[in-house]
Structure 1
Amino acid sequence: MTQIPTEPPLYVPEPMTTTADKASTYRLTRDFASSSSSSSSQALVVRCTGWLVRARGWVSRYRYEIAPAAGTSTLSLLGWWQESIGATVSYGLLTGVAGAAAVLGLKYKNAPVTQAAAGFTVALGDIATATAFGPGPESATAWALTTGLAYWIYGPWLTAQRNARMKLHIDTVKAKGALPNALGLEAADPGLIGATPEETALRRAIHALTGAAPLDVMAFHRGEHGWSALVVMPAGRSTAPSAIISRRVQLAANLGQPGKLTLAQGPADNELVVKVSTVDALAGTLPLTETGVTTCREPVLLGADEDGQPIHLTLMYRHTLIAGASDWGKSGIVNLLIKRLNRCLDADLYGIDMKPGAPELGPWEPVMAAPVAKTPTQARALLLWLRDECNRRGAIIAELSRKSMAEGKGPVRKWVPGVHGKAIFVFTDELAELVRQDPGLAELYESLLAIARFLAIHFISATQQPSRKVFGGSTDARGNYANRLSTRAGEAGHAPFVFGQGCQAKGWRPELLDLPGKFLLQTAELTEPKVYRAEYVTDLDIAADVGFYYSDKADTEPQPALTDEPWVEQFALLRFPNGDLVRPGQWPDLWEQFQALGSATKKELAAVCQISRDTAMRAIEEWEKHGVVGRRDGRSTRYYAKPEEEQ
């Protein structure tokens, strides 16, 4: 029997050769006299340690990839550990509460609450299933669904992180100055290699166009409809973003990438926004969407952008200019705005359509507050009435402001729909034709554009091109339009008439729009050029709002003769008993209410109109100069609005 030493040697020296200086060379050989069981145990420990080290490295390397699976597995294990009826009921109730919170988040359009509540709903549902069924196929199914959903949400973020790490690695190699053999083209021409094939193609295309490489590509995004990038350009005349935008066609040829290239000025002066759309998300007609909005104080839904996101337009306290060539959707956008505002309970609509027969606004006449103005005379009557309405509303705002200040509150500065009265929206189709037929209306129109906004009187004007002639020889009126919208323009030179001088160098190119209903929009919030498409209002959609008006009239009923009488009734100018016109400084708003009363004392007039007695007294003193008479009525004097022969 072999005796096992207490400390057996692992290796023993074996002499091999002896040199002249008596030095020996040894070969170490394994001593197999040691115990076989001890060596086997040590080998197993070594192998296990190696496996653990490799597993640790694998987990460390792929920690982001396995995080969702590890999380859902932990939830399932916790559920199995708590397997009981009570735990199932508790987690089921919590799942219901989280689901209700997600529904409320959707209802009130709160994205953070919706996302958080939906995540808790899925996680709690997984735990509830595990506590109810324990280890088994039911729990495995819930785990698989939860894990799949987690990776579906987590995947885009993980891809973005990978791209960022890859770009960081490439930038690090660039900074270290790698040898030409290592980086090839990058060593010979620095700045021409990007983190993605698209970025590389973009860098090379810009270099071929300008002779200079971009300083940096600060952001790169790839989506289902294409890709976009924010490029920082070096200083120079030929490398300025405006110069590159003007050479878009050549850059697209240099790029050699599939899709439609769009260029725009970036946030900084030396930044260029590059977008390549491989799929036209706006190629199909967008059907009309019912929003359920019943107040004009909310923005209206116009349509969608190239990424499929909805686009809303604020109309309150802003005039809107709609330009574009014929048959490219300009009138369709007007119909869409009328359709939206017709749902609003706090808005009145008026229209001016100078085309013979009013084909654009005429069908909407039943839902408007007055017949559509179809002649210059009718348009002048409407605009003069709007001027008087401005005076009336201004006097009310002044009186309300005085009372508010007397109560220690701030002044009243705007007419608020639903509080002070209704908002007014005036739609004008073919503004240029209106000015051509009556040039004198340009000055009145411009005056209303300047003073009417704070009184909640808004103009939505459509024209083919808002040139200098449209506004009576000046472009001052165009500056009053805070919302500027353009469908396809007939010529490249029309863009500055809508978006201002220098707009084309920044990417405002309406002549490049290729489908009816597509438009560019410039507002206080939307300052960068972007293509949108409006929802399409069909003839059936119009009939749904106004068809009842026409169907109520029997075909056998004799039609009334064409007359301007409705305009005389609706917009008849205010006159005093002696026939004089009521001027702006003669309290036209109070006179209108006084006419409705027929007669009143100073006290009654002040109470009905909610003004001070001093204001009522000064107004009546002015009116007495124009035929208003007063008679004693007890201890007071009663004043009459009609001439004596009509009393």
Structure 2
Amino acid sequence: MTRTRQMRRHARRMRRHGLQPMVVINSDDQLPDLAAVLLGRMLWRYRSELAPVYAGITLAAGGAVLHVSYPEWWPYLLGAASVAAWALAVLGDRIGLAARRERLYAATVALSAGAWLAAVTALGIGYVPLPQCLLVGTAVLAVPWWAHRRRRAKVRVDRQIAAWPEIAHSIGLPGSHAQSAGVDVWGWRARFALARGQTIQDVTAKVPAIESALGTFRGAVRVFPTRDDKANRFELRVLDTDPHADAIPWPGPSVASISEPIDLGPFEDATGARVLLLRRHGLIGGVAGSGKSGGINVLMGNLTACPDVVIWAIDLKRGMELQPWASCIDRLATTPEQARVLLRDAVAVLEARAASLATQGRRVWEPSPDMPALVIVIDEYAELAEDAPESVSDTDSIARRGRAVAVTLIAATQRPTQKAMGKGAVRSQMDVRVSFRVRERKDVDLILGQGMLTAGWHAHTLNAPGKFLLSAPEHDTPRRGRAYLLTDEAVADAAHRHADIRPILDEVSRTAIEEAQAGIGMRTTSSLEEVTTAPNAADDPETILWGLLAGAPDEGTPVSLLITATGMSRPWTYQRLRELADADRVTQVSRGRWHAVTEHSE
């Protein structure tokens, strides 16, 4: 044995110097030692496959010991097995058993093993047919274990991790080693420690070499900082299949309030790309056809489901993108002039809200159905800056002062250059950045911020519509997501369902808008009598509304005509009809038809 130890030490020295040791067997007494070593390595290498056998042996040994020492424990063992089986079946998802069949399998194994152990403790290991039950039960219950996809994936990962020292040496990261590894929904991830002097930037540069060494498909490897953000650590994520290869249908709204984070779509680890928009402004960028419109639809589908948000929108492509959501949008501007008025009114709202908070001694506007937040969505911001450049100062004001008063700006554009953003400070105020595919590498920094390309945010490598990178205070590492897909039918259905829950602006905001539209000192109240006599009354939506109601035929004017003629939203129209009805000035003739109350009708 002394000779064997010397040979092993010699072999280790040669390996450290990069030499291949030659094993020379001088006597037959060394053969059993070598066979034992090989057998031990094989049993360890295939420990996962042999786990049911090991469990059966352990169970038999434990039962024999308990029968001799504590035969009266069998009721407690049976009770413990029952509790464990129940816990695995009901609470197994908390320990990683996501699928129902996994939990049922674990519960069955726990109950079967516990019942057999209790029987052996009471009756003894030789009591027929307990040995036969153990053999048959082990074989039967081992089949699902051997066939399970995640177990087989874990075995494959363990073997790749075991080969990492050789891989690291071949790709130029010698000395790095794995600390932990695990399998998830679409692949696996592992945490690694780097050798002295190595950084995560060195690892990022070698991603193609890692993909080649691991035998994955191109683009399957992701490198992230670890959660503790240590400079000599990194997390490696490897995809077995691309989870974003196909479009992912929208599952429906993920929020019921603007104070909740909105789910834009799944990341590659199946977690949701959730981002909070309350008191934050957002910028969405990407080339034509990259999926910006789809991302806006996801936002609209969630925002319209929130009864504490009023939505205004600007779409200078004549409403082509946002018109399907018109029934849920309080104001939709489709011309430069309408956009100028809308943004001017938004500034008036935030100033009025700030003054109201100051008089109440409060610092922030808390959204509620009676005091909703205001979200302004601008599609193709570059067109607004070009067609209505005087409005840029208003967007700057909203971006700088809108957070505390819950006035949020969300802008979408292809390339948010300084010229496209109107030479203002809007872009610097955007806390939430969503980048779909860009054509040039430098556009990554334009959308996501300076230095993001160097930091690994490679939006130019996104290879399908809807794929995006999300940068926000809670998302500071480059993780690929894919926005949910809303078909035209899904948009129409969501808009129809959410139209009835849309709120109206609070009284403070409405009064500010009325004063902004009429001019300070020209109109101090919002009564209909003053509206009908105000200057330029022919252009006032309320004047148009009253004119249509006063001149309505006996069967009344349909609501659809009132909405079209005034250019206002359905919630606004119904709110004005309710106010007039409460004042006994209009009456509902039939469902969806109204006319003014006259002396004859009275």
The equivalent position to 1:390 in structure 2, one of 350, 361, 365, is 350
CA distance in 1 between partners of 2:252 and 2:313 (Å): 23
Residues 148 and 547 of structure 1, relative CA distance in 2, 3 Å threshold: same
Match of 2:572 in 1: none
Structure 2 match to 1:496: 445
Match for residue 415 of structure 1? 365
- Measure, in 2, the Cα distance between the counterparts of 1:597 and 1:398: 32
Structure 2 letter corresponding to 1:433: E
* 1:489 Cα deviation after fit: 0.4
1:438-449 residue pairs with structure 2 within 5 A? Answer: 438-449=388-399
How many residue pairs were aligned? 457
Decide whether the 8 Å contact of 1:98 with 1:117 is kept in 2: no
- Secondary structure, counterpart of 1:519 in structure 2: strand
Q: Return 5+ residue gaps in structure 2 as ranges.
A: 1-31, 124-128, 500-508, 531-602
Q: For residue 352 of structure 1, what is the aligned residue in structure 2?
A: 314
Aligned equivalent of 2:387: 437
Aligned to 2:489: 540
1:260 matched residue in structure 2: 218
Hey, what's the Cα distance between the residues in 1 that align with 2:97 and 2:529?
55
Moved more, 217-226 or 382-391: 217-226
Q: Which has the bigger relative contact order, CA under 8 A and spacing at least 6? A: 2
Correspondence for 1:409 = none
SS in 1 for 2:439: coil
Selected match of 1:314 from 262, 267, 276: 276
The aligned counterpart of 2:462 is: 513
Taking a change above 3 Å as real, the CA distance of residues 459 and 74 of structure 1, as seen in their structure-2 partners, is farther
- Alpha-carbon displacement from aligned partner over 1:240-280 (angstroms, at most 9, x marks no partner): 7657757877x579869442245657445576766554532
Q: Provide the residue aligned with 2:403 in structure 1.
A: 453
Letter in 2 for 1:329: G
Give distance in 2, aligned partners of 1:445 and 1:515: 32
1:200 aligns with 2:162: no
- How far residue 121 of structure 1 moved from its aligned partner, in angstroms, is 4.6
Residues 352 and 512 of structure 2 are in contact (CA less than 8 Å); yes or no, is this contact kept in structure 1?
Answer: no
Deviation of residue 283 (structure 1)? 0.9
| CA shift for structure 1 position 340 | 1.7
Q: How far 1:541 moved relative to its partner?
A: 0.8
- Give unmatched runs, 5+ long, in structure 1: 1-49, 164-193, 207-212, 403-411, 551-568, 599-647
Which residue in 1 is equivalent to 2:520? 581
Are 1:483 and 2:432 matched, yes or no? yes
Is contact 1:510-1:520 (8 Å) kept? Answer: yes
Q: When the two structures are superposed, what TM-score results if normalisation uses the length of structure 1?
A: 0.58
Change (3 A) 1:228 1:533: farther
1:337 partner letter: L
Asked if structure 2 preserves the Cα contact closer than 8 Å seen for 1:225 and 1:281, the reply is: no
Residue 364, structure 1, aligned to residue 325, structure 2? yes
Identity %: 22
Contact (CA 8 Å) 1:75, 1:123: kept in 2 or not? no
Shift in Å at residue 582 of structure 1?
6.1
Which position in structure 1 is the counterpart of 2:415?
465
Residue-by-residue CA offset, 1:338-395 (whole Å, 9 max, x unaligned): 112222222222211111x31111111111223x111122112222222222233323
Distance 2:182 2:89 in 1: 34
One-letter amino acid of the counterpart of residue 316, structure 2: M
Cα-to-partner distance string for 1:498-532 (whole Å, 9 max, x where unaligned): 12222221111211111111111111122121221
- Tell me the SS of whatever aligns to 2:257: coil
Shift of 1:203: 3.5
Alpha carbons 2:254, 2:302 under 8 Å: kept: no
Question: Is the CA contact 1:245–1:506 (under 8 Å) kept in the aligned structure 2?
Answer: no
Q: CA shift at 1:398, angstroms?
A: 3.1
Instruction: Tell me the CA shift for residue 396 of structure 1.
Output: 3.7
Aligned 8 A contact 1:348 1:369 in 2: yes
> Which one-letter code corresponds to 1:358 in the other structure?
G
After superposition, residues 54-453 of structure 1 pair within 5 angstroms as 65=51, 68-69=55-56, 94=83, 98=87, 101-102=90-91, 121-122=107-108, 125-126=111-112, 196-197=162-163, 200-206=166-172, 213-217=173-177, 219=179, 221=181, 225=187, 230=192, 232=194, 235=197, 242=201, 257-261=215-219, 266=225, 267-268=229-230, 277=239, 279-290=241-252, 293-355=255-317, 357-370=318-331, 372-400=332-360, 402=361, 412-418=362-368, 421-453=371-403
Separation of aligned partners in 2, 1:225 and 1:154: 9
**Conserved? CA contact 2:376–2:410, under 8 Å:** yes
SS at match of 1:352: strand
Greater radius of gyration (CA): 1
State how far apart, in whole Å, the 1-side matches of 2:157 and 2:57 are.
19
> Per-residue deviation at 1:160?
9.6
Shift of the 282–253 alpha-carbon distance from structure 1 to 2, 3 Å rule, reads closer
Q: What secondary structure does 2:333 align onto?
A: coil
Separation in 1 of the partners of 2:212 and 2:119?
Answer: 62
- Higher mean alpha-carbon deviation, 70-79 vs 504-513, is at 70-79
Provide, for residues 194-227 of structure 1, a one-character-per-residue CA deviation record: whole Å limited to 9, x for no partner: 9655653454233xxxxxx545245575756477
Letter in 2 for 1:331: S
Residue 422 of structure 1 and its aligned partner are, at CA, apart by 1.8
User: Which residue pairs with 1:524 in the alignment?
Assistant: 473
On the 8 A contact 2:261/2:275 being kept in 1, the answer is yes
What is the Cα deviation at residue 71 of structure 1? Answer: 6.3
Q: 1:547 to 1:471 in 2, by over 3 A?
A: same
Per-residue CA deviations over 1:382-420 (Å, capped at 9, x if unaligned) read 2222222223332343344x3xxxxxxxxx433222387
1:323 offset after TM fit, Å? 0.3
- Name the CA distance, whole Å, in 1 between partners of 2:82 and 2:215: 53
Partner SS state of residue 459, structure 1: strand
Letter of the structure 2 residue corresponding to residue 394 of structure 1? A
* 8 Å contact kept, 1:465–1:498: yes
